[in-house]
């Protein structure tokens, strides 16, 4: 028995199971969604006539502002997705917040591109599930 185990006899040690692959999936999906958002945001900034749904606005923002918000959010998603591979709890919590914000932000695009927005929201929900249900396994499984 290790010294650390003797000092904390009732400490819960996360056990790595096959489900830790869902954390890898969440990290990779977050990087993918972030890349999509960066591209989509930059298209809205530089080619805003491509995304016009009704008039010059998309929900409550003009397309240029919406594009910059998505481009910056996408870059943040990519960074947080990479940080998930460390198994750090702060990365998991940050990823949960970022994914939830992205799902809400996709509602702004629902009017212009309903299929795309629904696909991204669905992917966000699966990533949230992986992070919430199997997130504790990341610390044990990623260090293997």
Task: Give percent of the chain above pLDDT 70.
Answer: 70
Q: How confident is the model at residue 144 (pLDDT cuts 50, 70, 90)?
A: very low
Q: Which helix (H) or strand (E) holds 61?
A: strand 61-62
Choose between 30 and 1: higher pLDDT. 30
**Quick check: helix, strand or coil at residue 43?**
helix
**Quick check: helix, strand or coil at residue 58?**
strand
CA-CA distances (angstroms) from residue 70 to 57, 67, 77? Answer: 15, 5, 10
pLDDT digits (tens, 9 = 90+) for 15-66: 666 667 878 888 898 899 899 889 988 888 887 665 555 555 555 557 778 7
Whole-model pTM over 0.85: no
Q: Which helix (H) or strand (E) holds 57?
A: strand 57-58
């Amino acid at each position: 028995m290790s010294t650390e185990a003797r000092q904390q006899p009732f400490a819960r040690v996360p056990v790595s199971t096959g489900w830790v692959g869902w954390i890898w999936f969440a990290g990779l999906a977050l990087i993918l969604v972030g890349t999509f958002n960066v591209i989509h945001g930059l298209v809205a900034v530089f080619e805003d006539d491509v995304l016009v749904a009704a008039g010059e606005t998309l929900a409550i923002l003009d397309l240029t502002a919406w594009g910059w918000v998505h481009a910056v959010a996408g870059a943040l998603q990519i960074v947080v997705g990479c940080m998930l591979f460390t198994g750090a709890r702060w990365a998991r919590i940050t990823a949960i917040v970022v994914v939830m914000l992205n799902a809400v932000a996709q509602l702004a695009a629902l009017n212009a591109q309903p299929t795309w927005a629904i696909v991204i929201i669905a992917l966000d929900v699966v990533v949230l599930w992986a992070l919430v249900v199997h997130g504790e396994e990341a610390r044990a499984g990623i260090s293997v």
